A and B are shown apart, each in its own frame.
Chain A
Amino acid sequence: MTRVVFASADPNSSDIRAVEVDMSTDLGTLELPAPVLTASGCAAAGKELDQFFDITELGAIVTKSVMLKPRSGRATPRMAETPSGMLNSIGLQGPGIDQFIEHDLAWLAQRGARTIVSIAGGSVDEYAKLAQRLRNVPGVAGLEVNISCPNVENRGQVFACHAGTAAQVVQAVKRFADPKMPILAKLSPDVTDIAEIADAVVRAGATGISVMNTTLGMVIDLDSMRPALAGVTGGLSGPAIRPIAVRCVWQIRQALPHIPILGMGGIRSGEDALQFILAGANAVSIGTVIFNDPSAPLRIQEELAQALAIRGFTSVSEAVSFAHRSATAEVGVEVSEEDQDGQ
């Protein structure tokens, strides 16, 4: 329980209240003491951010997507600032799974942080091998399957863009991972019908959905009059894409009323996080805003508790999907049948 102290919304009132908000939540079988996580690729493996706040206070650290082998990533420039956001083309630079387990995961386990490991592959087989390699490794609370990173070369073949290939990857991970391991499939917004993809990965064995990854964008540098990024296109993130992400969460929640959703995309404040929860997210991840404010995840978690309390919620779970309630379920509005009949 998180104790929240706040002043009354009524400016004429000096009423100060303290309430308890139950911040625990779950993503299916993955129980979390708090609903704010880091977004993959924006928190490395937690160590750097632990200088700014206690990372064990968060729901979990979602680590940067790791591949089987060490990977250099793309050439620089790798990023460009855009209005309320940024474009990035890192190209999944990373140490490879063995180094990751030996150093990063070991540190997170020793630190006592819950960890969701994001995995990325260039083939279905690579995802399967990663899932297998992570079996029985201590300190892994769940897997996030990055099937939607737009930065891997061969862009036409992004797994997340087709229900069939998305499902194939998830099925392979499910088959080779620890049978009880929660599996989140991270979806791309760059599809025609995101609910269809969500449905396909759930049928393939995903425990839940992470939504959303960056959306593909481009900036032209006016000095060179060439693409600003060495990788030409890049993933757009930050508050600029937040409404797209809220829409994706909403659409998936409508299609799949009971599937766990980890929502993300441009969250900058506790009120932003609350939008995702009301739209159907069971938990949220904080990404690009970390670059603006390295303490953002814990700040947002505290602001979210406040935002819930102010609106009369005593738990996160009460607020999940609250925006989907029918008009007749409006709080404080009792509609009798007689009234509806106009009598």
Chain B
Amino acid sequence: MSKPVQLRGEVLDVRRSGSYFVISMTAPGIPEQTRPGHFLNIGIGGEDSSMLLRRSFAIHQVQERGMYGGTLEIVVGVNGKGSQWLADRKRHDTVSVVGPLGRPFVLPKQPVACVLVGGGYGSAPLFMLAEQLRERGCRVDVVIGAATEDKLFGVLDIKRLASSLTITTDDGSLGEQGRVTDVLPEVMERHDAGVVYACGPMGMLAAVAHIAGNHRAHSQCSVEESMACGVGVCMTCVLPVVGDDGLTRMVRSCTDGPVFRGDRVRWSDVGTIPDDVVGAPQVGGH
């Protein structure tokens, strides 16, 4: 079990990658505990910031030892004032970091063929995962997709880690025109994949889990729910997930996830309280 560390990380580098920013920073105590799929969160704007909520990011790369001790990298897509503030950091700036957080991807004990699917910067946590799967003797095929070429992340780097790489873009600006889920069945069949790992938007994850199910493959999906605390105390990031006992509960993405078995998440009910969830409001009740 990892134990999250709260620290001030020093920014070592901020570099552009397509439409994203890759930020590397010192984070002593986090790299040695990090497994693929773990995330961290970052405080925005300093001690008196009016933006109180920490922003969560999948951990992209870690280095346990080096010139700066433990360091790590995250991939930031700017979609608001908070992420813009982060992208504007300069070398030697410090930021508040808490991590590693969440439950990481579960790795197979047998050397089965795996397909890794990333949507947009959802490919960020798949690099570490690909390395570790290969170390276990698993075949690793990767499918990444995005709306446009500039919204793909890490094409060249992941090519080196994968047995094959299939790229899709909505507009056809790179790779095949279409979505990752258009090509996924064929990639799975070609290599007789036993496990699919996915990280990206909810809609993509729902479709990936469905396809994996059709192929009798296991799926591990890392969800992106908006979180306030990231450490399990605020109860904002819940989604309906079926437990071992067959009952559906509203569970926290931050501490029970962000990685869930694809066949356990009730994808079409995300954003609702299903009638049969444990503790659902009774008709006529409050």
Measured between beta carbons, the chain B residues less than 8 angstroms from A71 are: 279
Contacts of A81 in B (CB 8 A): 51-53
Q: Are B50 and A48 in contact (CB under 8 A)?
A: no
User: Nearest-CB distance from A174 to chain B (Å)?
Assistant: 23
In chain A, positions 68-92 with a C-beta closer than 8 Å to chain B are 69-79, 81, 83-86, 88, 90
Q: Which residues in window 226-260 of B have CB below 8 A to A? A: 226, 228-229, 231-239, 249-250, 255
- Determine whether B43 belongs to the interface, using a CB cutoff of 8 Å to chain A: yes
Given A72-B280, A291-B228, verify A48-B255 contact (CB < 8 Å): yes
Nearest A residue to B3, CB-CB: A51
How far apart are the CA atoms of A223 and B134 in the complex, in Å? 42
Q: In which size bucket is the chain A interface?
A: 35 or more
| A43 adjacent to chain B (CB < 8 Å) | yes
Chain B residues contacting A288 (CB-CB under 8 Å) are 52
CB neighbours of A310 from chain B (8 A):
none
Check if B108 is an interface residue, CB within 8 A of chain A: no
Interchain CB contact under 8 A, B236 and A289: no
Which residues of chain A are within 8 angstroms of B52 by Cβ–Cβ distance?
81, 84-86, 238-239, 288-289, 291-292
Which one of B162-170, B212-220, B270-278 contacts A? B270-278
Question: Known contacts A78-B238, A230-B271, A293-B43: does B279 contact A96 (CB below 8 Å)?
Answer: yes
Complexed CA–CA distance, A77 and B6 (Å): 27
| A256 located at the interface, meaning its Cβ lies under 8 Å from any Cβ of chain B in the complex | no
List, in ascending order, chain B residues with CB within 8 A of A84's CB.
50, 52
Chain B residues within 8 Å of chain A by Cβ, number: 38
Q: Are A72 and B235 in contact (CB under 8 A)?
A: no
Chain A residues in 8 Å Cβ range of B6:
52, 293-295
CB distance from A148 to the nearest CB of B (A): 15
Contact: A154 with B286, CB < 8 Å?
yes
Interface of B is mostly: loop
Contacting residue for B285 out of A42, A78, A90, A122, CB 8 A: A122
Digit string of A230-265 for contact with B (CB within 8 Å is 1, else 0)? 100000001100000000000000000000000000
In chain B, what residue has the closest Cβ to A237? Answer: B52
Cβ-closest chain B residue relative to A72: B279
Interface residues of chain A, those whose CB is within 8 Å of chain B, are 42-44, 48-49, 51-52, 64, 69-79, 81, 83-86, 88, 90, 93-94, 96, 122, 152-154, 230, 238-239, 288-295
Which residues of B does A touch, CB under 8 Å?
A: 3-4, 6, 43, 50-54, 96, 98, 225-226, 228-229, 231-239, 249-250, 255, 270-273, 277-281, 285-286
A-B contact pairs, 24 of them (CB 8 A): A51-B3, A71-B279, A73-B235, A75-B272, A76-B225, A76-B226, A76-B270, A77-B236, A78-B235, A78-B238, A79-B53, A79-B226, A79-B234, A81-B51, A88-B234, A88-B236, A93-B279, A96-B279, A153-B286, A291-B54, A291-B234, A292-B53, A293-B43, A294-B229
